[in-house]
Amino acid sequence: MVNRPRRLRRNAQIRDMVRETRLCITDLICPIFVVEGSGIKSEIPSLKGIYHFSIDKLEEEVKEIIALGLTSVILFGVPNRKDDFGKEASSKMGIIQKAIKEIKRVAPELYVITDVCLCQYTSHGHCGILDNSGIVDNDKTLVSLGEVALSHAISGADMVAPSDMMDGRVDYIRKVLDNNNFMDIPIMPYSAKYSSNYYGPFREAVSSSPAFGDRKTYQMDSANSDEAIREIKLDIEEGADLIIIKPALSYLDIIQRAKDNFNIPIVAYNVSGEYAMLKMAVDNGVVSEQIIYETILSIKRAGATMIITYFAKYLATKM
């Protein structure tokens, strides 16, 4: 027999030498949930092992994140005030604006990405401004998104990540940032964001479930793959610096197609439902803990450059 593939699996050294995919600490983006109030570090019931932090508790958490070697975070806010227009999302003293400043005060070296959307801030829970028939008005929403992104940049965010799925938002936000001298702030849109049941635990964590209807008029149909390629292409043409595909695990095919089609960093979002399911299985001894590394590695192998994951801190302890 000439061909014996097992030769390269004979021991740990050679397996390590020929390994094709490696997970590095800089691949991981760590989500942080920030709430109003003080003295709060409380476990999120729908996301075991993940916490809500008030501003005064961020310092300790951020120091822990840095000590683990992680280099970037993405922020999600839970505001006190909601209205039909989500005005609080761009308030100077909004929860995210305060959180950015606090994180930059204690850890200027930590790379801070912000999720730009309205759904946590609107009383109806949709990702934009509604028209008279209850449908999200695309172009009105763009104006608000521009204000939110700008307010994050002014507060010191390093990168903005619009997750709303409105048409033309990258172009719009790019112009707003540029007109205000933030031409060096990258935009990382959620380009292929599917209407997914995997966001359930997140929506519980930030109370952003739509009060009526669903997000299907703006988020993508999970049956579609060509459409993801069109969406990504448009975002790149509009000036996206990186793109997000979300969720990750049930959409590995989309990640691979994006990798084959575009020369741009691809970020995969391993979302709340994916985390919760795996975490529950591990915590109940159904599968071994090693499955977490294997699962996150599969996202990188599919073509992701970086991964937003609630397992970031856990993985960092293993690396």
Give me the residues that bind Zn ion (CB under 5 A), please: 117, 119, 127
Site for ligand PBG in 2-61 (CB under 6 A): none
119 contributes a contact to ligand PBG by CB under 6 A:
yes
The verdict on whether 193 is a catalytic residue reads: yes
Q: Which helix (H) or strand (E) holds 316?
A: helix 312-318
CA atoms within 13 A on the CB side of 17: 8
Q: Which does 29 bind (CB under 5 to 8 A by kind): ligand PBG, Zn ion, none?
A: none
Q: Which of 163, 191, 295, 309 binds ligand PBG (CB under 6 A)?
A: 163
The SS3 of residue 107 is coil
Q: Which of 199, 218, 311, 314 binds ligand PBG (CB under 6 A)?
A: 199
229 contributes a contact to ligand PBG by CB under 6 A:
no
The Cα–Cα gap between 178 and 159 comes to 13
Q: Which of 35, 127, 192, 236 binds ligand PBG (CB under 6 A)?
A: 127
Which stretches within 112-242 are classed as H helix? 138-155, 169-179, 200-206, 226-237
Q: 57, 87, 98, 246: which is the annotated catalytic residue?
A: 246
Q: Which does 314 bind (CB under 5 to 8 A by kind): ligand PBG, Zn ion, none?
A: none
Longest dimension (CA), the chain: 73
What residues are paired with 246 via a beta bridge?
193
The CB-of-72 to Zn ion minimum distance in angstroms stands at 21
The Cα–Cα gap between 61 and 202 comes to 20
Q: Which of 121, 202, 218, 251 binds ligand PBG (CB under 6 A)?
A: 202
The CB-of-220 to ligand PBG minimum distance in angstroms stands at 11
The Cα–Cα gap between 116 and 127 comes to 10
The verdict on whether 92 is a catalytic residue reads: no
Specify the stretch interacting with ligand PBG by CB under 6 A; choose among 175-183, 197-205, 228-236, 287-295. 197-205
The SS3 of residue 58 is helix
The SS3 of residue 17 is helix
Q: 57, 193, 300, 313: which is the annotated catalytic residue?
A: 193
102 contributes a contact to ligand PBG by CB under 6 A:
no
Q: Which does 33 bind (CB under 5 to 8 A by kind): ligand PBG, Zn ion, none?
A: none
The SS3 of residue 61 is helix
Which stretches within 29-137 are classed as H helix? 58-67, 95-106
Task: Name the site residues for ligand PBG (rule: CB under 6 A).
Answer: 115, 117, 119, 127, 163, 199, 202-203, 271-272
Hey, which residues are catalytic here?
193, 246
